[in-house]
Structure 1
Amino acid sequence: MSENTRRSLIDALYELISEGKKVSIKSVADRAGLSHSIIYNRYPDLKCIIKDEQVKQTEQLKRDSDIAELEKLKIKLSSATRKNKKLEQEKSTDFPSLLAHIQQVYSMYDQLAEEHVEALNRLREIK
């Protein structure tokens, strides 16, 4: 019976792993239809194997999470790069028109300043 129990526990462990389910001493014992205390009391080597598998699962979850986060960051970077290129294009096309507008404003200012001086001179002549 001891070998059958061990085989049941090992089979339960591999089933949980292959199904992608969370592995724990309790989940393995439940799957095998046994008490979790049997693993602690009679199969300390299986306890170590289960604990190792838990560590592997935790590491895999961390890797998966890191990969997902990297993918999100890649998407954000790509979006920011596209926006930056668009802004650079707008800047390069807007600068000449902005410069032309500034030149027009200065030209109007110069003309108004000239007219102002002429008006002041006429006022002085009238007095």
Structure 2
Amino acid sequence: MEHLSHEPAFKITFTPSRVDGMTEVSSVTVWPNKLEVETADGTQEFRFEEIGKIQESEIMRFMRRLGGAKPFGMLVADRDWFHPPKDRYFRFYTDPPMTVYMPTNDSEDYEESVFFRVQAVIRCGGYETYDMG
């Protein structure tokens, strides 16, 4: 019998230029529903449903549903683009917060960058990031 994975197939794995909030990070994988961080001690997983923050009050969520609109996705990180590639980052709402900086050799072109692709993967799962710019 074939083993079926329940993990989404869409992901991005990269080596960050640095990480604040966690030591000895060798790689980061962003899935539509979670963040995986590879360290010398092994892999740590942070599920977005557990670290996410609701963007609107319950009454606003109810009103949006009543009006036929979909509620906003939960926020899972702050993001800042307006830096050289290696200084662009996502600050995930982990406890304590973890700031993941983009690879040193990331593309200057926005739509070709790891930064853009990380956002796309997160949005694929119905989650969002907050623009600090």
TM range (shorter): under 0.3
| RCO comparison, higher one (Cα < 8 Å, 6+) | 2
When Rg is computed on C-alpha atoms for both structures, the one with the higher figure is: 1
- Greater share of helix residues, 1 or 2? 1
